[in-house]
Amino acid sequence: MKLNIALLAGDGIGPEVIDQAVKVSDAVAAKFGHEINWKPALTGAAAIDAVGEPYPDETHEICKSSDAVLFGAIGHPRFDNDPSAKVRPEQGLLKMRKALGLFANVRPTFTFPSLLDKSPLKKERIEGTDLVFLRELTGGIYFGEKGRREEGETAFDNCVYTRAEVQRLAKKGFELAMTRGKKLCCVDKANVLETSRLWRETVQAMEKDYPEVEVSYEFVDAVAMRLVQWPNSYDVLITENLFGDILTDEASVISGSMGLMPSASLGSDIGLFEPIHGSYPQATGLNIANPMATVLSAAMMFENFGLLDEGKTIRAVVNKALNEGMVTEDLADGGKAYGTKEVGDWLASHI
């Protein structure tokens, strides 16, 4: 298979971890007889510095004409620390999701047997955890009308959803549940929010089309609690944009490190694959960032193309590295720590 992949390294540690995912992807492609044409493009603070926009038209054209997007990270402290900034790196990410129609963020959370003791949660609570969040990405409060009134003394952010937006996300959730444990949890705040009541009634109306799926409905605050109490009670969870943003970061610590968790953002035509961690500017250029989440995002990319053996090969070599202690400092736990590049080279060579 010949694959055209847009390569958006972004900011901070993004370029460093992306480089390792490219090494591993090229090794897998060589092993299985595929050809990858990487198409680099600017986004985030790097794009603002170069052309004044966080998601330039040229980048969009490259993404739109590619089979998938492999993405690093976005964000820079000089924007974080300036509330008055009119142009921000994160605006590029939101614009990209909207422009490419990436409405479903898929975030798996799973544990690694060799790392159970590194989680802040007790081993007996997290062992066997294997859940997936589907977060709606292009609606809700992040995209609603926002502004100031009363001379800037009052601020507002509107949360708006249409039934169609809920249906397309829920459909993916039901379909994913059918391939897994056939359990689906709709996360909302229907006791307070009208948008949540729309979510709940829409999903309830879809239950009849998936009679094999056991559906539950839970308030977001209850799920936030249960995620740290009994995470392995969940299978597939669907939720709106803001709730999903918060809950998926909470769930990421179950594995022991945000540096291990991949994600995908899917639409009708193209998928974007990225680690869930941020740009980690403090580590930029130090060769200490954990590249495994980005590498596992590449595994999800191959699997999305139907190349399951390729994805399985990447997952296997990551597990081998973890078992053998070929890890960066966040997982070294007092033992020998290896650099970002060294881990990437090891993974590629063992493929």
Q: Which of 19, 80, 130, 249 is catalytic?
A: 249
The secondary element (H helix, E strand) that includes residue 92 is helix 89-100
209 is catalytic: no
Q: How far apart are CA 157 and CA 169, in angstroms?
A: 22
55 is catalytic: no
Q: Which of 23, 39, 172, 189 is catalytic?
A: 189
249 is catalytic: yes
Contacts within 8 Å (CB) and 24+ apart, 173-177? 173/134, 173/236, 173/237, 173/238, 174/206, 174/209, 174/210, 174/213, 176/106, 176/132, 176/134, 176/236, 177/210, 177/213, 177/235, 177/236
67 is catalytic: no
Q: Which of 11, 39, 67, 142 is catalytic?
A: 142
142 is catalytic: yes
Question: What are the strands, taking DSSP E only, across the chain?
Answer: 2-10, 35-40, 68-73, 104-110, 130-136, 146-149, 154-157, 183-188, 214-219, 236-239, 262-266, 271-275
Q: Which of 245, 320, 341, 345 is catalytic?
A: 245
Distances (CA, A) of 317 to 70, 229, 257, 320, 351: 19, 30, 18, 5, 7
Question: Beta strand 262-266 with 236-239: parallel, antiparallel or unpaired?
Answer: unpaired
Measured in degrees and rounded to the nearest 5, phi and psi for residue 281 equal -60, -30
Question: Beta strand 183-188 with 214-219: parallel, antiparallel or unpaired?
Answer: parallel
Q: Provide the token pair at 106.
A: 């898929």
Catalytic residue positions?
142, 189, 221, 245, 249
